[in-house]
């Protein structure tokens, strides 16, 4: 019992130090924060600090990796949810109801299962919504990149962070949706999986970090940031779409406020999708 309590207390102190570092780095900037400041904010001693971290830079790297991992998990979950939303009915809902029998009942027609492009679209819209409601995290990621580009960390931290980033790229949170889209034809067959994932990540982060500086209320139903992000997502998808039609208007995600909520008119093969089907989409 005592061992369990000490383990929980140790984990609690570590989490408090990371949270304190995140708050102070955002408020003051990396250069203006000292170990004693983090200890005071977290309510722990310097001895406790050094039981968990060798330096203040190590705290910054922990905050960064935590922010990136949480963001990736939220976007990945949106893709999994989109993949699960298949076989629903359109038009009058009969005895089958939502999630009912796969065979259509009289007066019903079945919607096709979500394509890879549909899943990707849902993930990018969820990413934009997450960034809009978690602006501090987006700001921190930007602040971290700028600071450590100007003041490179020691070899140990650089190697550890490099290993973390390499692992994230290897199991990129967009990979499953991209692979599904290439396989079902809703995304271009010539897309390189890793390059496309990096292209989307770089493009999305650039925009979302810029929008994180907005003073606009992120919870407003008429958020301008959401509309801008949705239009940008339409441009990204327009450069990636293949010949198979997506269930939702993937490349037209930003044409109306409804697109921000994942609702958009269906497209038939050959209709405009808001972007060139043959666009390269290179980074």
pLDDT in tens, 121-168: 999 999 999 999 999 999 999 999 999 999 999 999 999 999 999 999
Two tokens, residue 77:
């979950």
Q: What are phi and psi of 282, to 5 degrees?
A: -75, 150
Closest CA to 21 of 140, 108, 175: 140
The structural domains of the chain, ordered by start, are 1-53 (1.10.10.60), 56-261 (1.10.357.10)
Cβ neighbours for 18, distance < 8 A, ≥ 6 positions apart: 59, 62, 63, 66
Rounded to the nearest 10 degrees, the angle between the axes of helix 116-133 and helix 56-84 is: 140
Lowest mean pLDDT among 9-18, 87-96, 240-249: 87-96
Residues 6+ apart with CB under 8 A from 73: 173
pLDDT at 111 (0 to 100): 56
Contact 104, 93 (CB under 8 A): no
- The pLDDT of residue 167 is 93
pTM (predicted TM-score): 0.74
Ramachandran region of residue 270, left (φ > 0), alpha (ψ -120 to 50) or beta? Answer: left
Minimum mean pLDDT among 71-80, 101-110, 122-131, 163-172: which range? Answer: 101-110
pLDDT attached to residue 233: 96
> 19: burial class by Cβ within 10 Å (0-12, 13-18, 19+)?
middle
Closest alpha carbon to 274 in 257, 254, 247: 254
**pLDDT digit string (tens) for 24-73?**
999 999 999 999 999 999 999 999 999 999 999 999 999 999 999 999 99
CB count within 10 Å of CB 113 equals 14
- Residue, of 8 and 48, whose pLDDT is higher: 48
What pLDDT does residue 214 have?
84
Are 237 and 121 contacting, i.e. CB atoms less than 8 angstroms apart?
yes
Terminal CA-CA length for the chain:
54
Burial of 86 (0-12, 13-18, 19+ CB in 10 A): middle
Q: Mean of the pLDDT values across residues 255-270?
A: 37
Q: Taking the CA atoms of the chain, what radius of gyration do you get in angstroms?
A: 22
At residue 194, the 3 state secondary structure works out as helix
Given a cut of 50, whether residue 258 has pLDDT beyond it is no
Residues contacting residue 160 through CB under 8 Å, at least 6 positions apart: 61
Q: Scanning the structure block, which residue is given the tokens 């060139």?
A: 276
Which tens digits make up the pLDDT trace of 172-228? 999 999 999 999 999 999 999 999 999 999 999 999 999 999 887 777 767 788 889
CB 246 within 8 A of CB 186: yes
Burial zone of 276 (CB within 10 Å; 0-12 exposed, 13-18 middle, 19+ buried)? middle
Please give the average per-residue pLDDT across 250-263, as a whole number: 40
Q: Check if the beta carbon of residue 191 is closer than 8 Å to that of residue 179.
A: no
The DSSP code for 115 is P
pLDDT at res. 244: 64
Structure tokens at 202: 């770089």
Which of 43-52, 134-143, 239-248, 263-272 has the lowest average pLDDT? 263-272
pLDDT in tens, 42-51: 999 999 999 9
């Amino acid at each position: 019992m005592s061992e369990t309590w000490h383990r929980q207390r140790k984990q609690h102190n570590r989490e408090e130090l990371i949270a304190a570092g995140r708050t102070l780095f955002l408020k003051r900037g990396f250069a203006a924060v000292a170990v004693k400041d983090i200890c005071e904010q977290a309510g722990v001693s310097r001895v406790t600090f050094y039981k968990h971290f060798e330096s203040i830079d190590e705290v910054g790297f922990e905050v960064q990796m935590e922010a990136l991992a949480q963001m990736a998990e939220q976007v990945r979950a949106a893709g999994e949810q989109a993949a699960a939303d298949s076989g629903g009915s359109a038009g009058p809902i009969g005895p089958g109801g939502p999630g009912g029998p796969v065979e259509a009942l009289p007066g019903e027609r079945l919607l096709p299962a979500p394509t890879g492009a549909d899943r990707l679209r849902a993930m990018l819209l969820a990413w934009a919504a997450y960034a809009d409601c978690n602006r501090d995290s987006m700001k921190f990621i930007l602040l971290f990149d700028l600071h450590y580009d100007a003041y490179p960390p020691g070899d140990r931290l650089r190697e550890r962070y490099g290993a973390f980033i390499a692992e994230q790229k290897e199991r990129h949170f967009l990979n499953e949706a991209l692979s599904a889209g290439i396989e079902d034809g809703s995304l271009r067959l010539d897309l390189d999986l890793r390059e496309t994932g990096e292209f989307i990540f770089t493009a999305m982060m650039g925009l979302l970090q810029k929008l994180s500086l907005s003073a606009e209320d992120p919870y407003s139903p008429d958020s301008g940031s959401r509309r801008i992000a949705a239009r940008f997502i339409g441009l990204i998808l327009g450069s990636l779409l293949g010949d198979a039609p997506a269930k939702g208007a993937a490349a037209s995600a930003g044409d109306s406020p409804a697109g921000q909520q994942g609702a958009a008119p269906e497209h038939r093969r050959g209709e405009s999708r808001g972007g060139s089907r043959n666009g390269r989409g290179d980074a």
